[in-house]
Chains A and B, each alone.
Chain A
Amino acid sequence: MPEFRTEEMVLNMGPQHPSTHGVMRFVVHTDGEVMRVAKPDVGYLHRSIEKIAEKLKYPQFMPFTDRIDYLAAMNCNMGYAMTVEKLAGIEVPPRAEYIRVIASELNRIASHLISVGVMGLELGAVTPFLHAIRERETINDLMEELCGARLTYNYIRIGGVAQDLPAGFAEKTIEFLDHFVPAVDEYNRLLSYNKIFVKRMADVAVISAENAVDYGLVGPNLRASGVKWDLRRDEPYSVYPQFEFDIPVGTGEKGQVGDCYDRYMLRIREMVESSRIIKQCLAAVPDGPVQTKLPASLKVPEGEAYVRTESVRGELGYYVISDGSDKPYRLRIRTGSFSAMSIVELTSRGLMIADLVALIGSLDVVAPEIDR
C-alpha cells in the first residue's frame, strides 16, 4: 500500500475576510485540518496617525484619536487629553473628570457588546449579535445626546470635556443600566451557556499566564489568563480610586484558564462591572465648570510625557515629546491590539483551522488600532 504523501499547504486568510475584524492577513500553514502555524501580517490599515500629529496643533489632533480605535473612541480621547495635560500641567475640573469616566465606561460597555456579539457571529450564531447591537444602539443614542456623534465622538478636550451633561442624561443612563444588567443574563441564556458555543470556545487556544506576560498582552486578554492587572485599580488615574468595582479574571470555569471561553466570559463580566462604576459615578458628579480656560494657542513646555490608561482593549499609552511649540515634536501610541496580534503565531500552532476565527475573535483586535 503506497504511503500518503502529505504536503504543507499555505493558505491566505484575508486581507479581506469577514472574520478578521478589518483588513489584515494571516498566512496559514496547514497540514490537513490542523495548522502548523498562522503568521499574522498587519499594516494594511496604516494611516500615519502618529505623523499627522506632528503636523497639527495639540487640540486639533483630538478628532484623529477617535480613529485609533473606532469602537472605543472615548477612551482614546481621554488618554491623549491626559497626556497633554500632564505635559502642560493643566488642571481638569472635578466635574469634567466624572463626566469623562461616565463616557468612557459607557463606551467600554458598547465596545464589549460588539466584541461578545462578534465572537458568537464568527462561530455561526447570528441572533446574539443582533441582541448585542440592540443594547449598543441605546448607548449610541446616549452618546449622540451627550456629544452629537455616534461613533467618532471627539468629546473630551484638553482641560475638560466639550459640553456639560445634557438635561435628563443621568436619568436616561440609569434607566438603560437598569434594563441592561438583566439583559446580560438574557444574553447568557441565549449564548454564553449554549453547549455548542461552550464546546467551540472552551479549551481552545489556551494562553498561559507566563506567555501572556511575556508577549505583552494587556487588558482583558491578560486578565483572562489569570493575571489580575488593571490600570484602573493598580495605577489609578482620574477619579477611579473613589469607586468600588471588581476586576474579573479568567477562572477556567468551562475549561482551562486562559482559553477562548475565559476571554469571552471576562468581557461579559466587565460590562456588569462598568455598569456599577457608571452608577456610582452618576450619583457622585459634583457641580462646577467642565472645562479649564486655555490660551487660544496652546503652547506646551519642552519635555516628554507618557501616560497609560486602561482602554477597552487594554493598556493604551501615549508618548508625547514637545519642543516647546504648539505642535508635538513626536507622538507615539501604544495599543493593546498590536501586542495581541503577536501571540497569534505562538497560540495557533496545532490549532484547527476553524478555531483560528475563535482565537482572533476572542482576542478582540480592531484592525485600525493595530496599524494606526
Chain B
Amino acid sequence: MRRYFLNIWEAISTIAKGMGVTLVHFTPARKSITIQYPDRTPVPVVETLPERSRGMLTFDPDVCDACSMCAMTCPIDCISIDRERVEGAKGFVLKRFDIDMAKCMYCGLCTEACPVKPKGLEHTREFEGATDRMEDLILEFIDEKKHRELVEKALKKAEKLKAAQNEE
C-alpha cells in the first residue's frame, strides 16, 4: 500500500522536475534558438553559412584548362565534358561543361581535384536549388557563344606565345 502511493508521488515529483526544466525556457534567461525560415530571417541564411559550406557547384570557363580531372574524379559521373582540339592552339578547348545537380551528392571531390589556381570548379554556399523541373538542375556552363569566345581566346594566346618566341 505504501509502495503504491510512493510510486504515485515519485511519478508526480519527477514529472514536476522535468516540467521545471521546460519552465526555465519560458524565462528570458533562455533565448529561443529557432528562426523563421525562409522569409523572416534577419539576413539570408546563405550569408550565415561558413566559408567551407558545400552548396551548389559553380564553374568558371575562363580559368579552366579543360583537363577534365573533375569529371574523372566524380564517383557518380555527374559532370559531362566535351572538349576539342583547335588547330593552331595548344591543349583543349571546352565545348560542353554540364553538371547534373540532381545527381550530385555534394561530396566535394571534384573541387579538390581541380588543379588550376584559382579553382575553376567550386562549391558556392547557395543551397536553395529547389525547382519543379528536373531539367533546371542540369547546369550548362558553356553555350555556343561562350565556346566561340574560348576558341578565339585560345588562338590569341597561341599567337602571343608564337610572337614571344619569335622575338627571342
Contact = CB atoms under 8 A, between A and B. Distances in A.
Task: Report if A and B associate in a common complex.
Answer: yes
Interface of A: 56, 59-64, 66, 127, 134, 137, 141, 144-149, 152, 154, 162-163, 166, 186, 189-191, 193-196
B50 A154 contact: no
B75 A64 contact: yes
A137 to B, nearest CB: 8
Contacts of A163: 52
A154 B106 CA distance: 9
A162 B108 contact: yes
Interface string B88-110: 00000000000000000111110
Contact of B18 (A137, A144, A190): A190
Nearest to B115: A296
A56 B107 CA distance: 15
Contacts of A64: 75
8 closest Cβ contacts across the A-B interface?
Answer: A63-B107, A148-B54, A148-B52, A195-B11, A60-B75, A145-B50, A195-B10, A154-B107
B22 A127 contact: yes
A228 B54 CA distance: 40
A189 B17 contact: yes
Given A127-B22, A195-B11, 10 more contacts: A62-B109, A66-B107, A146-B52, A149-B54, A189-B17, A190-B18, A194-B14, A194-B17, A194-B18, A196-B14
Nearest to A127: B22
Contact of A63 (B10, B49, B109): B109
B105 A144 contact: no
Interface string B26-67: 000000010000000000000001111110000000000000
B68 interface: no
A145 B49 CA distance: 8
- Size bracket of the B interface: 20 to 34
Secondary structure call for the A interface: helix
A195 B75 contact: no
A218 B11 CA distance: 34
B107 A152 contact: yes
Interface of B: 7, 10-11, 13-15, 17-18, 20-22, 33, 49-54, 73, 75, 105-109, 112, 123
B15 A194 contact: yes
B57 to A, nearest CB: 12
B50 A148 contact: yes
A161 to B, nearest CB: 12
Contact of A191 (B18, B20, B54, B75): B18
Contacts, number: 74
30 contacts: A56-B75, A59-B73, A60-B109, A61-B75, A62-B109, A63-B107, A66-B107, A127-B18, A134-B33, A141-B50, A144-B49, A145-B50, A146-B52, A147-B52, A148-B108, A148-B123, A152-B106, A152-B107, A154-B107, A162-B108, A162-B112, A189-B18, A190-B17, A190-B18, A190-B22, A193-B17, A194-B14, A194-B15, A194-B18, A196-B11
B50 A62 contact: no
Nearest to B52: A148
Given A144-B50, A163-B52, A190-B22, A154 B109 contact: yes
B116 to A, nearest CB: 15
A124 to B, nearest CB: 12
Contacts of A193: 14, 17
Nearest to A146: B52
A62 B107 contact: yes
A127 B20 CA distance: 12
A120 B11 CA distance: 16
B112 A152 contact: no
Contacts of A141: 50
Instruction: Among B15, B21, B22, find the residue whose CB has the most chain A CB atoms closer than 10 A.
Output: B21
A166 to B, nearest CB: 7
A286 to B, nearest CB: 22
A63 B107 CA distance: 6
